[in-house]
Amino acid sequence: MGCLLCIKIGQCSLSTYCASKNTVIRLTESLSNELKFNGINVNAVIDTPVNQVGMPDATPSN
């Protein structure tokens, strides 16, 4: 299950996963709106199983 599925609809047995992903996304959006007038950009990177499949040799240390 990728993050995009949890944003659009909830997923059975993945409530904490969906909640945590959505929390990061909404916090990033809120901080971005608050700080844009100070010239500060706010971004987030969310790892998903799709990225892990697309990059099988990648490790967190790379």
Asked whether residue 21 is assigned to any structural domain, the reply reads: yes
Q: In this predicted structure, what is the pLDDT of residue 34?
A: 96
Residues shown for the chain: 62
Asked whether residue 3 is assigned to any structural domain, the reply reads: no
Q: In this predicted structure, what is the pLDDT of residue 27?
A: 94
First to last CA, the chain: 24
Model confidence at 57, pLDDT cuts 50, 70, 90, reads confident
Structure tokens at 44: 């987030």
Asked whether residue 5 is assigned to any structural domain, the reply reads: no
Structural domain count, the chain: 1
Q: In this predicted structure, what is the pLDDT of residue 1?
A: 42
Asked whether residue 45 is assigned to any structural domain, the reply reads: yes
Q: Which domain holds residue 21?
A: 11-54
Asked whether residue 31 is assigned to any structural domain, the reply reads: yes
The answer, yes or no, to whether residue 7 has pLDDT greater than 70, is: no
Read off the pTM: 0.61
